[in-house]
Structure 1
């Protein structure tokens, strides 16, 4: 029961972090947002490490580094697709894919679900279709580019969950510290490459910083995003060590609830009734998978 509570709490915190990251990406580029967020998260984890502790071992470092690579790809794609929008559709799509990937790897590896679990997988796939289907005039509609980014992000998040689940139980926050260090290095390197390949007033920079916005609000949002995301990752790691990968993968996949609520309240995004049905099915599928 404790792992379930931690999983749901982490999901809501992830949702808040994703909203902050997606909003920041509308002011500065998604790559820069992700890099700043990774650095801010690393600082937060380094501050917490002496209090939480953790044994440094080759396995913890290697797995942490691998999770850092997948995490950088996942978050970079996620914030990019959320910047394109609509958040209320692309965030749930990413979540469903992120849950299906660990479940699939588990099933291939020999895990077996109860009948309710297989039914839940079918419901999850139906939910993906309904969430992405917008029949009403005036309702938000995702682009193909945004959908592909969301699917790629979900797959990378799923791999991140699988890798981080393999870390030693006595490693504490060490894998997450390495994760953030590697992720920040990759993303800042990407920022450097982009900076060298374009002038300070290039067309791409004008797109990255829309008229009426400055980079400072985006930077503040990115820093806050990194701290919140680090808290969510810490909860995820604790939940994985207390419970099962399949259950935590599904519970944390409920994070769009936080994103959707904030997008509706702050950005006034409109969600069509058929999409609401899809979201309800997604939540139902998550609960069923947790039981399975």
Structure 2
């Protein structure tokens, strides 16, 4: 029961953080927004270590650093896939794979087992993931092979992120996430710095128009940046993301990886609910069905 509470609440917090992160990215660029969110998340996670007991060990450090690498690369590929589109296909594809991959690992490699209706719940949860994340686009185009590859690899890496966190010592507390954040912010700010150099070189004339990269896609258009609101949104995103990660890790430490991976992949529900409340975006009937199925799956998993 405790694992389901951690999983569902973590998914909702994750989705809410993604909502703020998306708004921040529109104002200041995805990499800069993610870097700032990661920085504030690092400070928050360090604060969590004073509340949640844990021990620093070689395992906590190594698995934490590896999870940070998996998570950072997964985010980069996910952004690339969604930029290629269509989001209505690639987003649920990545979410579904992010759940299936660790479930297969847990059942086949770790030897986890559930009662029969627990397996039914996993199937229902997988269907719920697709329905919740599915947002039909008008005149949706057929996905390109590159977009599908990026989405699949991103989903695998998100699943690998969960698997790696599951390897951390059970007495590590939140410390693996602290080291995770060190890797994440290092990569993100390195990318931001590199793109800033490219922009500088472009202004100096070192790149021709045809050869200049689209830096505005990841750092923000210089004429459309809103750093004040972007930073505030990124700070909120960092707080929610760190909290969601903490709930995820606690869920993994107290329960089965297979259960947590399915529950965590339901994170789009949090984004959709906030978008409906704040931006007045319409929730489709399919998404409502998906949310009902998600709650049904969670109830069955709690009983299993």
* TM-score between the two structures when normalised by the length of structure 1: 0.81
1:253: how far off?
Answer: 2.2
- The 8 Å contact of residues 125 and 263 in structure 2, kept in 1 or not, is answered as no
1:62: how far off?
Answer: 0.5
In the superposition, relative to structure 1, how do residues 53 and 127 fare at CA in structure 2: closer, same or farther (>3 Å)? closer
Q: Distance in 2 between matches of 1:62 and 1:276?
A: 40
Greater mean alpha carbon deviation, residues 221-230 or residues 270-279: 270-279
Q: Name the counterpart of 1:68.
A: 68
Q: Distance in 2 between matches of 1:53 and 1:112?
A: 29
* Residue among 220, 235, 247 paired with 1:209: 220
Q: Name the counterpart of 2:47.
A: 47
Q: Name the counterpart of 2:265.
A: 253
Secondary structure of residue in 1 paired with 2:17: helix
* TM-score between the two structures when normalised by the length of structure 2: 0.78
Q: Distance in 1 between matches of 2:293 and 2:247?
A: 25
Matches within 5 A, 1:256-271: 256-271=268-283
Q: Name the counterpart of 1:190.
A: 191
In the superposition, relative to structure 1, how do residues 289 and 217 fare at CA in structure 2: closer, same or farther (>3 Å)? same
In the superposition, relative to structure 1, how do residues 119 and 233 fare at CA in structure 2: closer, same or farther (>3 Å)? same
Q: Distance in 1 between matches of 2:298 and 2:94?
A: 14
- The 8 Å contact of residues 250 and 290 in structure 1, kept in 2 or not, is answered as no
1:228: how far off?
Answer: 1.3
In the superposition, relative to structure 1, how do residues 217 and 103 fare at CA in structure 2: closer, same or farther (>3 Å)? same
Q: Does 1:144 align with 2:155?
A: no
- The 8 Å contact of residues 96 and 265 in structure 2, kept in 1 or not, is answered as yes
**Larger Cα-atom Rg:** 2
Q: Does 1:4 align with 2:4?
A: yes
Q: Distance in 2 between matches of 1:85 and 1:220?
A: 28
What are structure 2's unaligned runs of at least 5 residues?
A: 204-211
Secondary structure of residue in 1 paired with 2:49: helix
Matches within 5 A, 1:161-180: 161-180=162-181
Count, aligned residues? 289
User: Cα deviation per residue 1:123-146 (whole Å; 9 max; x = unaligned)?
Assistant: 556556666473xxx759588377
In the superposition, relative to structure 1, how do residues 148 and 125 fare at CA in structure 2: closer, same or farther (>3 Å)? farther
1:168: how far off?
Answer: 1.0
Q: Does 1:239 align with 2:251?
A: yes
Q: Distance in 1 between matches of 2:196 and 2:62?
A: 30
Q: Name the counterpart of 1:111.
A: 112
Q: Name the counterpart of 2:285.
A: 273
1:118: how far off?
Answer: 4.7
User: Cα deviation per residue 1:9-65 (whole Å; 9 max; x = unaligned)?
Assistant: 111111111111122122222222222211111111123323434211111110111
Q: Distance in 2 between matches of 1:261 and 1:87?
A: 18
RMSD: 3.4
In the superposition, relative to structure 1, how do residues 173 and 215 fare at CA in structure 2: closer, same or farther (>3 Å)? same
In the superposition, relative to structure 1, how do residues 244 and 125 fare at CA in structure 2: closer, same or farther (>3 Å)? closer
1:81: how far off?
Answer: 6.2
